[in-house]
Structure 1
Amino acid sequence: MLVAAALLSLIAAPALAWQYDNHTCAIHPQYYSCELSNSTLKTYDTCCTPVQGLVLVTQYWDTYTGLEKNGSVLPKNSWTIHGLWPDHCDGSYGQYCDLARQYDPVPSPNTTTGLANGTVVPPWKGGDIITPLLNKYAKYDLLAYINKFWKSQGSPDWTFWQHVLTRAKFSKHATCFSTYDVGNNNTNNCYGLEYANDTEASIIDFTESVVRAQIQYPTYTWLSNAGITPSNSTGYNLTSIQSVLTKASGAVPYLGCYGATKQILSEVWYYSHSLGRPQDSIFKPVNQTGSSSCNATAPLWYYQRTNGSEM
């Protein structure tokens, strides 16, 4: 009875609950990020709705890894994971928001603001933390999935994972999602005493969130079903690709291209608002905040994978 009474008092007094790191989001109102009223913003639990609430699910189309001789190849019939990013509602974004969880071996930019007067981001020199962590908690299926679909180019995959873990990218991106906070820098602790190690919990939680979000956006299949497949001889126009992905996803995504004339298709970003935590992957599609970088008047090249670069 005493335990039950204590629990009821926590539920009845959200401020006290937050003080004790009790953030059971299931009992709090669910809000779409970037759609909160000013009055709601003053009282809502940042562990249950992200402060940086414009959520981007981002993917790459690479044609090689550069490490094929080491067995690193790209997944057949699939784009690869870039990350899960938190942007401010106006399209701007923060980065390296918690240097206590900085695991990026090559921080880019090398300061928190990207400017010379920003706080220096110290390079991580401790190696791969993701693989040992997922093995420690027997997340073997999750590790196998990211080894296949979350690929780096020119460097071991874990270096990319840990860069992403900083913005989605854990160190650069994920630490800017308030729903993964662990109490550093006067933030809420969204994990608290429920977990033996809240930092480890946040890393696993975020890695699972990245995968859960990516599965909702099967870019290769959407394009293929519309007759748009990788080709070294046939180009496609921006409008056609964007129209297919807009119809399939529910909003206009950003398409990224590189090259002197911006004709080589390489990435896609899907924008959304999150209902509650991004961990739950309940997204409302919204249009890109800017405009695609691809050439709008010349054919775009959605190149085939290099021989030996695809499993």
Structure 2
Amino acid sequence: MKPTTILVSSALAAVVAAQDLYPGLSNVNHTCVIKPQLLSCPPQNPQLVDSCCTETYGGLVLATQFWSTYTGLEAQGQKLPKNTWTLHGLWPDFCNGSYTQYCDLRRQYDPVPSPNTTNGLPNGTVVPPYTGPSISTFIESFKRYDLLAWMNTYWVNQGAPNADFWGHEFSKHATCYSTFQIPCYGPNYVQNEDVIDFFDTTIKYYQRFPTFAWLQQAGITPSNKTQVTLSDVQGALTKAATAVPYVGCSGPRYNETDAGRGSNDTGRTVISEAWYYMYVYGRPQDGVAVHVNATGSSSSCAKAKNALWYYEPTPSSVQS
């Protein structure tokens, strides 16, 4: 999930309101291997290139991860993987760092849309809650049981079933890529093929950013006793990823803690997220990416020395 405030440039506002990113897109002539792989940012003009073969809508791609200490559904067997951050999503921001969401309500599989309108405002188009079969059944229909097992291991939700989270990520984000539009799959499209393709692609990028291992190599490991410094965390991830990621924190603000009382540092103090930014050549599905620094703020965390908690997971919340 992403902050629910939606930022959409005026030039794209009319497109966002449509059910398709590019209405009237043909389902023929998308043989991407015979077309040049163009970089997604600066944005390519969809009237001049094939938007099924070059990402022309969400050109700034974010591979995002969570660090959690529990799931809330341990009794149902939903637990965290050991020694790894979990997969959050693959988000299509505009090249200027703004973004939109829920771009095709015909492919809305989110049981609890957040936000519940397409523009995040009361006057936006309502995103109706999905009440159909779990999105996990889409995976089963393709006999991709290995994929389903992997996702239940590493793409883990907190406070609700994993599949609810997968439905949210697809509906809110995947529908806002030009290259995941249904006509891009040609006249022989199989229902929900785009969903499976998005899951495969998201996992491809997640595996490129082993956040836990990178921090561990820098001597930064989860602890309930010792705090860490943002510059050390971000420095280790920047060195490994070759670009500055966004590091997100939750929990109390530093100036609300005993150690930070009276400080002007209002950053949060519990490490919880990492976002890696990229431009892509051709389709995101192709996996040819250029790592770039985070746009805007690079962290919501406190900057003071040893201000951050990188907590250990609850032992009973970790998969055996």
TM bracket, shorter-chain basis: 0.7 to 0.9
SS class of match (1:173) = helix
Alignment of 1:92-171 (within 5 A): 92-129=98-135, 131-163=136-168, 169-171=169-171
Q: Deviating runs (4+, > 6 A) in structure 1?
A: none
* 1:36 Cα deviation from its structure 2 partner: 5.0
SS class of match (1:180) = coil
Q: What is the identity, as a one-letter code, of the residue corresponding to 1:249?
A: A
Q: What is the identity, as a one-letter code, of the residue corresponding to 1:28?
A: K
Report the counterpart of residue 219 of structure 1 in structure 2.
Answer: 211
Report the counterpart of residue 257 of structure 1 in structure 2.
Answer: 249
* 1:133 Cα deviation from its structure 2 partner: 1.6
SS class of match (2:221) = coil
Q: What is the identity, as a one-letter code, of the residue corresponding to 2:116?
A: N
SS class of match (1:263) = strand
SS class of match (1:160) = helix
C-alpha distance in 1 between matches for 2:81 and 2:53: 34
C-alpha distance in 1 between matches for 2:27 and 2:233: 49
Q: Tell me which moved more, 110-119 or 134-143.
A: 134-143
Q: What is the identity, as a one-letter code, of the residue corresponding to 2:141?
A: K
Q: What is the identity, as a one-letter code, of the residue corresponding to 2:75?
A: K
**2:60 counterpart (48, 54, 63):** 54
Report the counterpart of residue 297 of structure 1 in structure 2.
Answer: 304
* 1:285-309 Cα distance to aligned partner (Å, 9 max, x none): 1111122100011521100001211
C-alpha distance in 1 between matches for 2:117 and 2:190: 31
Q: What is the identity, as a one-letter code, of the residue corresponding to 1:195?
A: Y
Report the counterpart of residue 210 of structure 1 in structure 2.
Answer: 202
Q: What is the identity, as a one-letter code, of the residue corresponding to 2:311?
A: Y
Q: TM-score, normalised by structure 1?
A: 0.87
SS class of match (2:317) = coil
C-alpha distance in 2 between matches for 1:148 and 1:84: 18
Report the counterpart of residue 230 of structure 2 in structure 1.
Answer: 238
**2:190 counterpart (188, 196, 201):** 196
* 1:208 Cα deviation from its structure 2 partner: 0.5
Return 5+ residue gaps in structure 2 as ranges: 1-24, 254-267
C-alpha distance in 1 between matches for 2:291 and 2:274: 14
C-alpha distance in 2 between matches for 1:59 and 1:229: 16
SS class of match (1:193) = coil
C-alpha distance in 1 between matches for 2:274 and 2:186: 35
Contact 2:52 2:181 in 1 (8 A): yes
SS class of match (1:190) = helix
Q: What is the identity, as a one-letter code, of the residue corresponding to 1:136?
A: S
* 1:74 Cα deviation from its structure 2 partner: 0.3
Contact 2:27 2:185 in 1 (8 A): no
Structure having the higher helix fraction is 1
Query: Is the counterpart of residue 73 in structure 1 residue 65 in structure 2?
Result: no
Report the counterpart of residue 35 of structure 2 in structure 1.
Answer: 28
Report the counterpart of residue 12 of structure 1 in structure 2.
Answer: none
Return 5+ residue gaps in structure 1 as ranges: 1-17, 164-168, 183-188
Q: What is the identity, as a one-letter code, of the residue corresponding to 1:285?
A: H
**1:279 counterpart (273, 282, 285):** 285
SS class of match (1:269) = strand
C-alpha distance in 2 between matches for 1:110 and 1:20: 30
Report the counterpart of residue 175 of structure 2 in structure 1.
Answer: 175
* 1:107 Cα deviation from its structure 2 partner: 0.6
* 1:43 Cα deviation from its structure 2 partner: 0.9
* 1:116 Cα deviation from its structure 2 partner: 1.1
* 1:20 Cα deviation from its structure 2 partner: 4.8
C-alpha distance in 1 between matches for 2:65 and 2:27: 38
Contact 2:59 2:279 in 1 (8 A): yes
Distance 1:171 1:234, change over 3 A: same
* 1:35 Cα deviation from its structure 2 partner: 3.0
C-alpha distance in 2 between matches for 1:249 and 1:145: 24
Q: Tell me which moved more, 289-298 or 76-85.
A: 289-298
C-alpha distance in 2 between matches for 1:106 and 1:20: 31
Distance 1:118 1:240, change over 3 A: same
* 1:122-160 Cα distance to aligned partner (Å, 9 max, x none): 11111412x212121111111111010000001100011
C-alpha distance in 2 between matches for 1:213 and 1:157: 19
